[in-house]
Structures are given as C-alpha cells and as structure tokens.
Amino acid sequence: MFKDKTTGKHIGLWYFDAYDRKGKRSGAWMNAYRNQQRMDGSITTIVSNNSNFIQGKPGEPVLISWDDATTLFHEFGHALHGLSSNVTYPSLSGTNVVRDYVEFPSQLLEHWLSTPEVLNKFALHYKTGTPMPKSLVDRIEKASTFNEGFSTTEFLSSALVDMKLHTSDQDNIDPDKFEKETLKALNMPSEIVMRHRTPQFAHIFSSDAYSAGYYSYLWADVITADAFSAFTEAGGPYDKKVAARLSKNIFSVGNTIDPEIGFRNFRGRNAETKALMKERGFPVK
C-alpha cells in the first residue's frame, strides 16, 4: 500500500507477483487493474508487477540475474508511473500516454539499479553478505556499451525503412526493391543487415499504433538518457529537487500535457541526444 509521506493519504495499491507457477505467462510485465481518476470521486490506482523468478528450495535463497534485476526496476518504473498519476480523466491517467512516453519512466528507473545506494543494500553476496565489489560494478558498466555501434545501426535501418514505407506515396511498392534503394540512400554499411527485414517486419503493419513507430523505442531511449543526466548534472540520482520536477511534470500528469511541453518543463529545454550517445559509448562533441 502506498501513502503520501507528508499527508498520509492513501495513494494506491501495488501487488508483486514474483514467482513462476504452472500456467503463468512467461516474462515480466506491469498491469493496471484500476486507473487513478477523479471523474467518479477520488479513485486510487491498483497496479501489479509480475515476474517469473524461480523459488529456491526450502532454506535456499532466491537468486536473480543482473538482467532480471534490470527488468524488475523497469517494470516497477511502469508501476510507479501508474501510482504517481494525479489527473481527472481515467483515459488520460497513468501509463495511458503516447508510445515513447510509455517506456520513458520504466527505462529511467533502470538507471537506479547500479547506484551504490541500491547495490550496497540489496546486491549482497548470499553467503558472505558482502556488497558487490566496485571492480565488478565497473565491469558491468564497461560491458554495457559492447556492440552498441552494431545494434544502434541495425535498429536504425529498420526504424528508418519503417518510416520511409509509411511516408512514401508510391502505389504497389516492391518491398525488396524499396528496401534496397532506401538502404542505399541511407548509406547503410553492407556489413550490417537490418534488424528486421521488410517481409517479416510484422511490427510496422500490425496496427496503426505501431505504423512508423519503431523509431519511438529509440526516442524513448533519448529522453530517458537525457532525463537521467538531469540528475547527474545536479546532485546525483537521489537529488530531491530534480525528482520533484520529474514527478510534477512527467510521472503524475499522464497524458494531460503535451509530452514535449512536459519534458521541457522538467528539463528546462528540449530533449537532446547527447546523453544517449554518451551512454552508448559513442564519441560526443
């Protein structure tokens, strides 16, 4: 149960369904059972995080991988987005936002996992109780930029072909020819293939919600990295003033404010790509 720290007012309910069991869907996700709203009186939200951790045998600890921990923080970001909601209309509430903004709070939360405040409290060796050594944290951080040149390029080729397909005014497009010509015009290195070749790129024609929308994942990464740099440029990941601005302009507003304006109110300027370039290990001028 979440309560407002200063007023003690009830904010919402959060369920955590952590372990795998027979018949449960695989993977990890967040679910909103009830959206926050004030249309019908003051309704608080009910959200859950679901994952599939394997329960240890009696007396044995539950050990999760770094990837699982990242996913846990990611999904909790979605939950926190729902819990922070403070709007009137349910259709504009919590995570009912535009596509790149859906993944923004969740990806942002991932950044807190590697902070010493979290690691020194939770990432303790299960036998000795000692925290994760700094050298190992450094190695994880260093490895995070591995192959980013390749994966960013293969992603971008698919994202740009998706957009070009949807903005082309040609009839009867020959997918093979169109793909070839577009990649040539983009100067796509021949050593790297598209992440999704056009004939099997189901994403781009599955529904209007996804049309020309593959790029939104990368844009979500841009605003995420830029938002986290607002913390590091100030007092660090736990800077209370930046956190308050984030809550006020992004986490609590749902879809009631144009995201571009909301971001500007939070960041004091438009989103920039510099922080993501740095995060991915590209040279930044």
What's the min distance (Å) between Cβ of 49 and Zn ion? 11
CA dihedral 135, 136, 142, 143 (to 10 degrees): 160
CA distance 79 to 109: 11
Q: Site size for Zn ion, by CB under 5 A?
A: 1
Query: Closer CB to Zn ion, residue 106 or residue 157?
Result: 106
Dihedral sign for Cα 53, 221, 203, 176, please.
Answer: negative
What's the min distance (Å) between Cβ of 70 and Zn ion? 11
Distances (CA, A) of 158 to 55, 60, 208, 221, 226: 39, 45, 17, 16, 23
Q: Is 60 a catalytic residue?
A: no
What's the min distance (Å) between Cβ of 103 and Zn ion? 5
DSSP state letter for 22:
T
By the rule CB under 5 A, 49 interacts with Zn ion:
no
Q: Which residue is nearest to Zn ion (CB)?
A: 106
Draw the binding track, 102-131, toward Zn ion (x: CB under 5 A; -: no contact).
----x-------------------------
What's the min distance (Å) between Cβ of 78 and Zn ion? 6
Q: Is there a contact between 70 and 112 (Cβ–Cβ < 8 Å)? A: no
Identify any residues that bridge with 19 across adjacent strands, giving them in sequence order. Answer: 53
Query: Closer CB to Zn ion, residue 49 or residue 106?
Result: 106
Distances (CA, A) of 54 to 10, 30, 123, 166, 185: 32, 18, 18, 43, 48
CA distance 94 to 259: 13
What's the min distance (Å) between Cβ of 74 and Zn ion? 6
Catalytic pick among 60, 75, 103, 181: 75
Query: Closer CB to Zn ion, residue 95 or residue 158?
Result: 95
Query: Closer CB to Zn ion, residue 84 or residue 106?
Result: 106
Query: Closer CB to Zn ion, residue 96 or residue 157?
Result: 96
Draw the binding track, 166-205, toward Zn ion (x: CB under 5 A; -: no contact).
----------------------------------------
Closest C-alpha among 19, 17, 24 to residue 57: 19
Angle made by CA atoms 87, 93, 99, in degrees to the nearest 5: 135
CA distance 113 to 72: 9
Draw the binding track, 87-106, toward Zn ion (x: CB under 5 A; -: no contact).
-------------------x
Footprint of Zn ion (CB under 5 A): 106
Indicate which residues carry an active-site annotation.
75
